[in-house]
Chains A and B, each alone.
Chain A
């Protein structure tokens, strides 16, 4: 008996402690600079959703950056090469994350005026009548009395923050008393898509087709899932919705989920988009790791407008949802205490 028990114990512990997992999961991959570079390049080639749209020759990119990879290069050198390669995608959703820094394609925002002055909006509009100003969850809102008309001003700057339904009800109940509403989403870098749907749905009583969506499904350039129709559907109770005239204020900093909001709002007939083209970012990004543990992401989905271009094709607004009315922030007026974009929105609402 003792002998059997001894064998059994020995076998058990050897299985427990021995490298049995290698039979199933294999060994850790090589994590040298060449392996890291090859993995990132291959992943982009097989999964990035805008290579065709952006007319990017990814093989040329390989030829450009591959010679820069050499054995023994340090992490900082490797990062700079990979950062440059990622920025070839010209995509705000294309990032490389390391413990010491991360890469981002900044020309997306820096190539256009900011078109937003947070202090100007706070001081000259929200606090014009401080008793009218509320911050309900992530939404700032006030009612401006303009030429005897009540204009509601809402600002939602971060879609990662979610208001409760009761908070949305409270905000919309106030907006329902207004003759027009300005929804300011300038400098909103995005967040949860669910928040954009919840918000847009408060401005309609009927569903309207907003856009189409599809995801990358395979390595081939055209390996996408079938186009799926996406609608702007009513949300909340009808008595907590506003269906009067609305102006959506946007700038280049309105990115990712905020561009989705712009598409949702564009589908509503009483809504006008005003300001600059949004930053785009309509490709849902994924997330993954490289062999050395660094993380990265890039776009793996596509959203196409429900509107058609002159060729009868759907618009691809990855580079930004255009406004109905293009307006920049006038620095002269700003210095005088006026946000020219809000002023133009008020004129638009009063004229309707």
Chain B
């Protein structure tokens, strides 16, 4: 039994998507050409010996396979570890300290872990970023600012039925954490403002598996062998919406109670005082991502995504609005040898 398999065409199968095609044997023309090459006789003898050895080896392997399924055919969850970075643009308006919108460039880095089961996906990701901003005021009136942020998401998504085989749809509850620290040196005691948001919400992910045939040419002795692979490029859209959560804003004037007994304790107390429970409509948190995952032959993937995060919250009629958009590039490691689950 030869362990090389045919191209998989049934999309509902859970078999691996990167198995090689059968070897292309030399054509008659090629065989004729080989015969007339110098040393062809000795090569033929060598081929016969090698063939014998291979057949013994194949026989031994087929015995083993008959007892035990290959690892890649086993059913089980897929585990993915993703690392990446991104560049993009961002904007914010912090109305405690300025009516102007600050816009700038930013960079992010982060990671994610995903467990893909037959019926569900568990996902966690965390990104941290920093950016430089200007309020775009005219000429020398412009002000500058820096900002640092972190956002994390946790979700458990259930597979929902889809009519067509190449589409998959998942949805489920999610938890979101987002916090940003903004530094505006021109604002003296109010030079540091922040957001804090810890929410429960919903996430939805829709993915399309785009088949793509790729080939790789290999040499086998004097032969050039074309191995063909079928891989599924994943195009996806994922959106995460906050429904209910705790939000905190800086003090009404933007200044923590630094005149108090202990500035750190005062600031912490004030942060707690300003913590509010809010529902959708009072606040908005939306994290949106379009992504493309390109599987490699080794089971890992390259990943490119366009992530947009928007946040709005108003406390004491002084709203804050933040928008961060990042073109992310990442590498997705497969941590298991199970069959690919789509």
Contact = CB atoms under 8 A, between A and B. Distances in A.
Contact of B188 (A225, A285, A301): A285
Listed residue (B190, B208, B263) with the most chain A CB atoms within 10 angstroms of its CB: B190
Contact of A230 (B92, B137, B259): B259
Interface in A1-29: 1, 4, 8, 11-12, 15-16, 20-21, 23-29
Which secondary structure dominates where chain A touches chain B? mixed
A1 B187 contact: no
Listed residue (B88, B91, B252) with the most chain A CB atoms within 10 angstroms of its CB: B252
A295 B337 CA distance: 60
Interface stretch (A126-134, A181-189, A239-247, A286-294): A286-294
A24 B99 contact: no
B267 to A, nearest CB: 11
A77 to B, nearest CB: 15
A15 B257 CA distance: 41
B210 A292 contact: no
A289 to B, nearest CB: 4
B59 to A, nearest CB: 41
A23 B140 CA distance: 28
A25 B322 CA distance: 6
B266 to A, nearest CB: 8
A16 B327 contact: yes
B325 A287 contact: no
Given A21-B91, A24-B312, A228-B257, A11 B138 contact: no
A284 interface: yes
B137 A286 contact: no
Nearest to B88: A16
B308 A20 contact: yes
B186 A20 contact: no
B259 A20 contact: no
A1 B260 CA distance: 64
Contacts of A25: 91-93, 101, 321-323
B100 A293 contact: yes
B210 A297 contact: no
A86 interface: no
Interface string A198-226: 00000000000000010111110001010
A260 interface: yes
Contact of B261 (A4, A20, A229, A291): A229
A293 B138 contact: yes
Contacts of A350: none
Given A23-B310, A288-B254, A12 B290 contact: yes
A194 B261 CA distance: 10
Contacts of A303: 259
A231 interface: yes
A29 B327 CA distance: 29
Given A11-B290, A293-B100, A47 B252 contact: yes
B263 A297 contact: no
A11 B289 CA distance: 12
8 contacts: A15-B308, A20-B325, A24-B91, A28-B136, A29-B100, A215-B257, A287-B187, A289-B98
Given A21-B103, A21-B323, A216-B252, 6 more contacts: A11-B290, A21-B91, A98-B141, A215-B251, A230-B259, A289-B137
